Amino acid sequence: MKRVAILGAGYGGVEAAKQLSKMFKKPSEVEITLYDRNPFHTLMTELHEVAGGRCQPESVQVTLEKIFGGTKVGVVIDTIKDISFATNTLKGEEATYQYDYLVLGPGAEPEYFGIKGAKEHSLALWSFNDALRLRRHIEDQFLKASREPNTLRRRKILTLTVAGAGFTGIEMLGELLEWKKPLCHRYGIDENDVSVVLVEAMTEILPLLPKKLRTDSLRFLARKGAVMYLNTPITEVRADGITVKSGATIDTETLIWTCGVRGPEFASKLDFTGGKDSGKPAATEEETNLKYNIVKKARLRSNEFMQSVEFDNVYLVGDVLWFSERSRVLPQVVETALQTAGYAAHNIHAEIHGKTKKAFRSNYHGYMVSIGSKFAVAHVLGMELTGFVAMAMKHLVNLHYLWGVVGVNGCWEYLQHHFFTVKDGRSQLGNQLAAKSPSYWMLPVRLALGLMWLGESVAKVLEGWLDASRGTSSSWMFSPGVVQPGVDPDTVGAATEAAKAVKVHDFLGFMAQPILPHDFFLVQWMQGFMDSVVSQVPFMLLQVPVVAVEGLMGLALLGGTFTWLAAVASLALSLNFVVSGTLTWNSAWMLFASVSLMGGAGRVLGLDAWIMPWLQRWWSRTQLAKKTYWYLGDARKRK
Ligand code: NAD
């Protein structure tokens, strides 16, 4: 059995592991193991949302157990310190691990270009911890400022500076511009005391985007109050400010460094010699680039099969890889990570099965940049999009990614984090989906519906439904004027007649009409079905279960026990009455109440408060839940 090790649970590592697990169908063929220091995969493209206080930290974490629990991929949490390519060994802090094939995806680190004080005195945004640190720092600055009586000192504390106008810098800038208002409100600070500043070395922002999108972004940022210094390279960073090339200084205690990335230090220390500085001067521009990036930026060179140029059994994926496709080096973006991982997985499979390897061909779709929660620019498939549509596109792309990684559960959590649980209206739809009302407001509805079904069951018994001598009768079962949920049997026929008499204007009469009239085709079909099929069903199998189900539903709702199930049954039965032409408008509330009760209404003064968490934990541990990603509740509490 071949051992495939994957180092790094970033976009590349996770994709490679998923693809390999799909390609090797037989469990005995390979052993696939993913190594990472964290037990979760970080959604790096959303880090600014956590750092900028828009989303909660867990919104960018997807636990590896959740992703791989139902697959043959083993997950090992350890920090790998070194790799011996001679003995095919990963050396971790906890143990050493053997491999036959290695997929190397250790990601990237911020680049400081040797600028004095930059590393020591700035805050980066390139990991989960960075985002948390930055978020806390900004909140601390507002707290500190709220206690500072001196206006000048307060303004310095509240000068938030972003260095670099690439994607990371602009996305962070957008969050700060949006977050400052709620922060000022919370800490009692005048918004005019806050400055959100951008410092960029080049004359343009977002250089990878077309001119129109750059201009739209610039205009939007200016409108939101950003102070932008372009063509202003930073030359020195101190704890209390920065100096730029002209010699001017900016007082700031918050410098967010997003001036580019390089391969990780870990990669620069690896025992790679291929592609490293041979001592000979570079002859071509490409060679110069190569030397610069391999040696100084710690990126490792691969061939077109994503194999390291030095070790055939080592595949490179994502930011660490240096591969020049048609004289263009692959950019360090998510699409590169996903696509190189796909090729690496395919080629490892091909090699083990003695098949032909596939040479890399990129297929980029474009870039999307959010500037706050409501505005974005996107250059996708040749289209230039701005504003609401671009933002919607970004959400769709994120959902698509999550669907592939953790299925429906991941998508639901994404919607929760980005729409249902946001604060201060910081979602594309503002507060529209975020308002919460506590479950105890649903208690009266639950009790009303419960009483209704219990009463209905009792009424059926009193009406003689359990009288076996009456036999099974489909028309008797659903015909109006006999027993209908919520409708007095004696008044229906009369009310229907009255409604006819006073025509449509008579609101009360209208309310007593069935939702679907008797001549409606569905009602006709249902009546036919009841007459021909259901009436053949023995008494015990029809009337008794119906009475029992109604009674149980009533009791379940009253006791808040399996409320979700009872609400679904209530909806199904009510719909059945609609289709049978017997549910009247004045009982239509049952349909809506049933839907409303599905959101955890049994957890207030009900047994569901205990039953549901237990059931969710039990279910989420099953193989079926893991394989289908239908986890319920908070998966982190599944152990
Ligand atoms: P970047 O390299 O894209 O941009 C860095 C910016 O910093 C440049 O504009 C550069 O001119 C500026 N800069 C460099 N040195 C400076 C100095 N001394 N003073 C002032 N400005 C200076 O870096 P990034 O935005 O961190 O992105 C890193 C990688 O991640 C990129 O490949 C990027 O495409 C990718 N990324 C993509 C997305 C997305 O697709 N939405 C989001 C974030 C990052």
Q: Is any atom of ligand 1 closer than 6 Å to the C-beta of 234?
A: yes
User: Same structural domain for residues 87 and 129?
Assistant: no
Cα 164 to ligand 1 centre (Å): 6
Residue nearest atom 23 of ligand 1, based on CA coordinates:
260
* Cα Dmax for the chain: 103
User: Same structural domain for residues 25 and 68?
Assistant: yes
User: Same structural domain for residues 293 and 346?
Assistant: yes
Cα 270 to ligand 1 centre (Å): 26
Q: Is any atom of ligand 1 closer than 6 Å to the C-beta of 152?
A: no
Least confident of 164-168, 282-286, 452-456: 282-286
Average pLDDT over residues 580-598: 91
Asked whether residue 192 carries a pLDDT value surpassing 70, the answer given is yes
CATH of the domain at 94: 3.50.50.100
DSSP label of 318: G
User: Same structural domain for residues 443 and 321?
Assistant: no
Banded model confidence at residue 485, pLDDT cuts 50, 70, 90: very low
C-beta separation of 174 from 372 below 8 A = yes
Is residue 384 in a domain?
no
pLDDT at 289: 67
C-beta separation of 541 from 534 below 8 A = no
User: Same structural domain for residues 267 and 252?
Assistant: no
User: Same structural domain for residues 554 and 444?
Assistant: yes
Containing structural domain, residue 599: 439-606
Euclidean distance between CA atoms 408 and 294, whole angstroms: 40
User: Same structural domain for residues 67 and 162?
Assistant: no
Counting the structural domains of the chain, the total is 3
Is residue 140 in a domain?
yes
Is residue 379 in a domain?
no
Is residue 37 in a domain?
yes
Residue nearest atom 31 of ligand 1, based on CA coordinates:
332
Euclidean distance between CA atoms 245 and 214, whole angstroms: 24
Tokens 């996708």 correspond to 380
User: Same structural domain for residues 580 and 455?
Assistant: yes
Is residue 223 in a domain?
yes
Is residue 473 in a domain?
yes
pLDDT at 514: 86
Banded model confidence at residue 464, pLDDT cuts 50, 70, 90: confident
CB atoms within 10 A of CB 17: 29
Asked whether residue 541 carries a pLDDT value surpassing 90, the answer given is no
Residue nearest atom 15 of ligand 1, based on CA coordinates:
259
CATH of the domain at 224: 3.50.50.60
Residue nearest atom 14 of ligand 1, based on CA coordinates:
259
Residue nearest atom 3 of ligand 1, based on CA coordinates:
166
Least confident of 13-17, 19-23, 202-206, 296-300: 296-300
Is residue 220 in a domain?
yes
Cα 365 to ligand 1 centre (Å): 19
Interval 59-77: pLDDT, tens: 999 999 999 988 999 999 9
User: Same structural domain for residues 303 and 204?
Assistant: no
* End-to-end Cα separation, the chain, in angstroms: 30
**Rounded mean pLDDT of the chain?**
89
Average pLDDT over residues 79-97: 95
What residues contact residue 207 under an 8 Å CB cut-off, 6+ apart? Answer: 166, 214
Last residue of a domain, one of 244, 260, 276: 260
User: Same structural domain for residues 255 and 158?
Assistant: yes
Last residue of a domain, one of 348, 364, 380: 364
Average pLDDT over residues 467-484: 49
Is residue 373 in a domain?
no
Cα 120 to ligand 1 centre (Å): 19
Residue nearest atom 32 of ligand 1, based on CA coordinates:
332
User: Same structural domain for residues 100 and 136?
Assistant: no
Asked whether residue 338 carries a pLDDT value surpassing 80, the answer given is yes
User: Which residue, 521, 524, 501, is CA-closest to 513?
Assistant: 501
Cα 170 to ligand 1 centre (Å): 9
pLDDT at 490: 53
User: Same structural domain for residues 448 and 574?
Assistant: yes
Last residue of a domain, one of 341, 364, 387: 364
